[in-house]
Amino acid sequence: MSNNGWATGAPLTASADWVDEILLGGADRDVCLHFGAPVDRAALRHAVADRQAALTRLGLARGGSVALQLPPSLAYVANLLAAWRIGAQVALLDHRLTPFETERALDRLAPQVLVSYTGTVPGGLRAFYDIADLATARETGRPAETGHAVIQLSSGSTGPSKVIARTAEQLVAEVDRYTRIDGVPLPGERVVLLASVVHVLGLVGGLLYCLHAGTELVLPERLTVDAILKAVAAGEAPTTLLGVPFHTELLASAVEPPKLPQLKRMTTGGELVRAEVSQRFVDRYGIILGNMYGMTEVGVIATDLYGANRPSLMPVPGLAVREQDGQLLVSAPSSPYIGLVDPTRWADGWLNTKDAGQVDPETGLITVLGRLDSQVSVGGLKVDLTEVEHTLAALPGVEGAVVIFDQGIEAYAVVPDPEAAAALEGELAKRLAPFKRPRELHIVAQLPRTATGKLVRDHTVLRTAE
């Protein structure tokens, strides 16, 4: 039995009533969500039943398709679970997409029903919203063409978005994997979620796991240091922060954060937190900073929740990871892509992650070495752009950096202090061999990020930011 009290015997399975059995169970008065105010199990079940009736009146039925374009809110959760309860396929669209991006996505996905919201959402780095949802039938929509439960668009941080699909069985299997990971939040504890519930870390690792495990899921009022720490302080139960490296950098910027005895750990997904940021965070808060590695295509792949193996991670139960020609491959019974036939991404039960990495044959630990496309040749010499980027980001005065390759190495850095900016090239010359140094160094006010907080590495977008 793992430390969270779940038996490691029979895995969870997805029946026709999987939403009720795995996500909506529990005592009526148990608080499961906190969107500014507590939401107990009875209130959540009522909200789901109400939205299910509304979607059914619009003609949504088993095998149908619906797109949700809602900000993080109780309405988002209720519509998502209601659509799944009906047996429909749900496409998740980020509410921050422009009208042009939204129309392009709807043309591509052709859902029968679109659930959006009325009015405008306020700004100010809000983490959740109190909105009125609006469901409309679309005449050009089509029933689901596959048996997948959820459709997501990849972040597009390194190119055009891909249409990624997962079945209910795969979602439930990932929730089951979470229950078997040593160090995940326990039943009766709290998770303060900083990652988006539209994307895989916040959706499965946050929302679905917490609903299943009996762990209260809390969204802070805003994604600011004060609001995040206020959300932690609002409860007495042991609390885990779940976010991405951007959130760790944000919290590490606090000079003297308050003492929070209930704060147990922070876990980040995505890119590895830079060593100097990781140390500063641990020094500030005196807690464990854990790491997770995953993909939208399969969810969580490997973890190091105790920070004991940094920068390596241990594959989660239920997934196999191997190394082939310097690339990490993860087991996947079928292709996760819709409308994309690409044998270089999935073949014979293995998904090519496009991440460079190593697997220790004795311990099974994996070390992610960055994207394969981050390794380039300069004058016949191999350069890892991740190494250059981390070196630049660690220099005095640098608040963020992205390094790309376009006929030569280019760097974009946020450096508010003009003197520090003027000294960058000299500092890089001390730390990097000549063939590794950026040919062009651009100072920008801020770096563009995707909706999941990942730094964008698209040449066109970066040059626009400059």
What's the total number of domains in the chain? 3
Share of the chain above pLDDT 70, in %: 94
Check: CB of residue 414 under 8 Å from CB of residue 399: yes
335, 444: one domain: no
Q: Which helix (H) or strand (E) holds 268?
A: strand 263-269
Query: Is the residue at 106 inside a domain?
Result: yes
113, 236: one domain: no
The answer to whether the peptide bond before residue 317 is cis (omega within 30 degrees of 0) is no
Last residue of a domain, which of 328, 352, 373? 373
97, 201: one domain: no
Nearest CA-CA partner of 301 in 390, 173, 387, 193: 173
Query: Is the residue at 146 inside a domain?
Result: yes
313, 223: one domain: yes
Q: 99 lies in which domain range?
A: 18-166
Query: Is the residue at 357 inside a domain?
Result: yes
CATH number of the domain that 452 lies in? 3.30.300.30
Report pLDDT digits (tens) over 393-407. Answer: 889 999 889 998 887
CB count in 10 Å sphere of residue 407:
6
Report pLDDT digits (tens) over 164-219. Answer: 999 999 999 999 999 999 999 999 999 999 998 988 999 999 999 999 999 999 99
Q: Please tell me the distance from the alpha carbon of residue 51 to that of residue 98, in angstroms, as a whole number.
A: 26
Contacts of 389 (CB under 8 A, 6+ apart): 401, 402, 403, 411
Last residue of a domain, which of 149, 166, 183? 166
Query: Is the residue at 430 inside a domain?
Result: yes
438, 389: one domain: yes
Could you tell me the sign of the dihedral formed by the alpha carbons of 289, 71, 165, 212, in that order? positive
248, 311: one domain: yes
Q: Any idea of the CA torsion for 333, 339, 343, 346, to the nearest 10 degrees?
A: -30
Contacts of 274 (CB under 8 A, 6+ apart): 245, 390, 393, 394
Neighbouring-strand partners of residue 346: 351
Query: Is the residue at 351 inside a domain?
Result: yes
Q: Please tell me the distance from the alpha carbon of residue 98 to that of residue 108, in angstroms, as a whole number.
A: 15
Query: Is the residue at 231 inside a domain?
Result: yes
Residue that wins the pLDDT comparison between 255 and 211:
211
CATH number of the domain that 297 lies in? 3.40.50.12780
42, 88: one domain: yes
DSSP states along 174-196: HHHHHHTSTTSPPTT-EEEE-S-
Averaged over 406-430, what is the pLDDT? 90
Nearest CA-CA partner of 197 in 287, 79, 303: 79
Q: Please tell me the distance from the alpha carbon of residue 194 to that of residue 249, in angstroms, as a whole number.
A: 13
pLDDT for the residue 433: 81
Global pTM?
Answer: 0.84
233, 256: one domain: yes
Interstrand relation of 312-315 and 299-304 (parallel, antiparallel or unpaired): antiparallel
Query: Is the residue at 13 inside a domain?
Result: no
* Look-up of token digits 């019974």: 333
Least confident of 26-30, 68-72, 448-452: 448-452
Query: Is the residue at 449 inside a domain?
Result: yes
Averaged over 140-158, what is the pLDDT? 84
Contacts of 40 (CB under 8 A, 6+ apart): 28, 29, 30, 31, 32
83, 195: one domain: no
Last residue of a domain, which of 131, 166, 201? 166
pLDDT for the residue 6: 40
362, 416: one domain: no
101, 245: one domain: no
Q: Quote the longest CA-to-CA distance of the chain.
A: 67
287, 235: one domain: yes
Coil vs helix vs strand at 400: strand
| CB-based contacts of 353-357 (< 8 A; 24+ apart in sequence) | 353/295, 353/301, 353/327, 353/328, 353/329, 354/327, 355/327, 355/328, 356/326, 356/327, 356/328, 357/323, 357/326, 357/327, 357/328
Check: CB of residue 139 under 8 Å from CB of residue 110: no
Interstrand relation of 133-137 and 312-315 (parallel, antiparallel or unpaired): unpaired
Residue 2 scores a pLDDT above 50: no
Q: In Å, how far are 231, 335, 353 from 389, measured between CA atoms?
A: 33, 32, 21
pLDDT for the residue 379: 64
